[in-house]
Amino acid sequence: MKKIFLNFFAVLLFCPLLHAQKFDKLALTPPMGWNSWNKFGRDINEGLIRSITDAMDTSGMKDAGYQYIVIDDCWQGTRDSLGFIHPDPQKFPSGIKALADYIHSKGLKFGIYSCAGIQTCGGFPASRGHEYQDAIMYSQWGADYLKYDWCNTDGLNAVGAYTTMRDALYAAGRPIVFSLCEWGNNDPWKWGKDVGHLWRTTGDITACFDCELNHGTWSQWGVMKIAEMRKDIRQYAGPGHWNDPDMLEVGNGMSVNEDRAHFSLWCMMAAPLISGNDLSAMSTTTKEILMNKEVIAVDQDSLGVQGYKYDSKDSVEVWVKPLMRDDWAICFLNRSLQKQKVDFDWSKNIITDELSKRTLNTNETKYNIRNLWVKKNIGTTKKKLTAKIASHDVLMVRLSK
């Protein structure tokens, strides 16, 4: 009797340790990397991924903080007789493990894609019913990141499906950042924190400023539409669990101003910074945007508070983000088609963020202002900020004591 009791006690004691969970201490700041989908779609192969890896390494992207090289949909071949998945041998003749080894040899991390349904959105074999096998495979290949999509999931419960894959990854034992890609359909911000490290909040992005591309049963969204779409979920984001407004479209066809505005807003929102352009053929301006370390520092700030729209007047929005050491990032965004004048009186704008319990009161504290795109100090908050902002562009500043 005593023995049974002791055994039961031991189970009670150790059960929490054995209990499946997500890997913690990952993505303490929003993940940064590159993903194949936005630019290359279905047209991927190992040569491309290797050349992107080289470009990530040599272009300065790695030094700027980008880490993950993520292969999105359409890498899959077939399952073998035991049910294990293998890559398309034409596209990836050397296999995924060799590619992951190559990525790791450059000091980068490797990410892979699957889907909770029977088939991926691109029509390839997905993980439903094979979660544990797939997790073992990814882990053996050396994956550090999994993006997990939501196509062909009829009858599936989202929390259950994503939790199953979380548990499978945990059981496989290799720490993997788990990116939930169910487009915000089932309010993942409400349950995602215990399941993954980031969750998509909307449908797919497209490289336009403010459009909707209607495909009938689904739409793709321009960057402003996405920034507008989920206004009230910032309290769900924080270190290890981020709202993901989708991958970047910088360098994929918008104007320079629009690319800059897009990147600035993503940093204000503490969004994952997953570039989606051809890193081996970047223009100077694309490089300047993606690798602006001062703007990236706003995104990666360790306080981990998602910024928000504080005000809007004459098509100029004012976004604010509290940062470490009582710094603030402020982004003035001109959504109109004309140049707009900004005339911002700091003393009349005492900004209190109820979420982080921080207040910006320039009547009590004087801040130095740094223009993050021009990379210049432009005075203090004792004077009004006056500036002209080009159409679809931003003025982004950092206030420091």
H-run or E-run covering 40: helix 37-40
With contacts defined by CB under 6 A, name the span among 114-122, 163-171, 323-331, 362-370 that binds ligand GLA.
114-122
Residue in 30, 87, 122, 322 binding ligand GLA, rule: CB under 6 A: 122
Token pair of 206 as six digits: 């497209």
Minimum CB distance to ligand GLA, residue 247 (Å): 7
Cα dihedral 316→322→326→327 (10° resolution):
-50
**73: contact with ligand GLA by CB under 6 A:** yes
Between 184 and 322, name the residue whose CB sits nearer to ligand GLA.
184
Residue 43 CA to residue 75 CA, distance in Å, equals: 9
DSSP state of 223: H
Task: Report the residue count for the chain.
Answer: 401
Residue in 149, 258, 353, 393 binding ligand GLA, rule: CB under 6 A: 149
**71: contact with ligand GLA by CB under 6 A:** no
Q: Are the C-beta atoms of 62 and 68 separated by less than 8 Å?
A: no
With contacts defined by CB under 6 A, name the span among 45-53, 78-86, 120-128, 291-299 that binds ligand GLA.
120-128
Minimum CB distance to ligand GLA, residue 200 (Å): 6
14 exposure class (CB count in 10 Å sphere: 0-12, 13-18, 19+) = exposed
Q: Are strands 32-35 and 273-275 parallel, antiparallel or unpaired?
A: parallel
**182: contact with ligand GLA by CB under 6 A:** no
Minimum CB distance to ligand GLA, residue 116 (Å): 12
**34: contact with ligand GLA by CB under 6 A:** no
- Residues labelled catalytic: 149, 204
Between 204 and 327, name the residue whose CB sits nearer to ligand GLA.
204
Residues 200-219 that bind ligand GLA (CB under 6 A): 204
Minimum CB distance to ligand GLA, residue 360 (Å): 36
**72: contact with ligand GLA by CB under 6 A:** yes
**37: contact with ligand GLA by CB under 6 A:** yes
Residue 260 CA to residue 288 CA, distance in Å, equals: 9
With contacts defined by CB under 6 A, name the span among 17-25, 117-125, 318-326, 350-358 that binds ligand GLA.
117-125
Burial 216-231 (b: 16+ CB within 10 A, else e): eeeebbbbbbbbeebe
Between 46 and 72, name the residue whose CB sits nearer to ligand GLA.
72
Q: Are the C-beta atoms of 136 and 127 separated by less than 8 Å?
A: no
Q: Are strands 351-353 and 394-400 parallel, antiparallel or unpaired?
A: unpaired
**295: contact with ligand GLA by CB under 6 A:** no
Minimum CB distance to ligand GLA, residue 182 (Å): 9
Residue in 181, 254, 282, 320 binding ligand GLA, rule: CB under 6 A: 181
How far apart, in Å, are the Cα atoms of 293 and each of 50, 91, 277? 25, 35, 18
How far apart, in Å, are the Cα atoms of 71 and each of 13, 32, 62, 174, 372? 41, 14, 17, 18, 32
Closest CA to 225 of 256, 202, 259, 199: 202
With contacts defined by CB under 6 A, name the span among 3-11, 119-127, 154-162, 347-355 that binds ligand GLA.
119-127
With contacts defined by CB under 6 A, name the span among 76-84, 116-124, 231-239, 360-368 that binds ligand GLA.
116-124
Instruction: Determine the angle formed by the axes of helices 95-105 and 46-58, rounding to 10 degrees.
Output: 10
Q: How many residues bind ligand GLA (CB under 6 A)?
A: 9
Between 158 and 316, name the residue whose CB sits nearer to ligand GLA.
158
Between 179 and 362, name the residue whose CB sits nearer to ligand GLA.
179
Token pair of 122 as six digits: 């691109």
Residue 335 CA to residue 346 CA, distance in Å, equals: 22
Minimum CB distance to ligand GLA, residue 206 (Å): 11
Binding site for ligand GLA (CB under 6 A): 37, 72-73, 120-122, 149, 181, 204
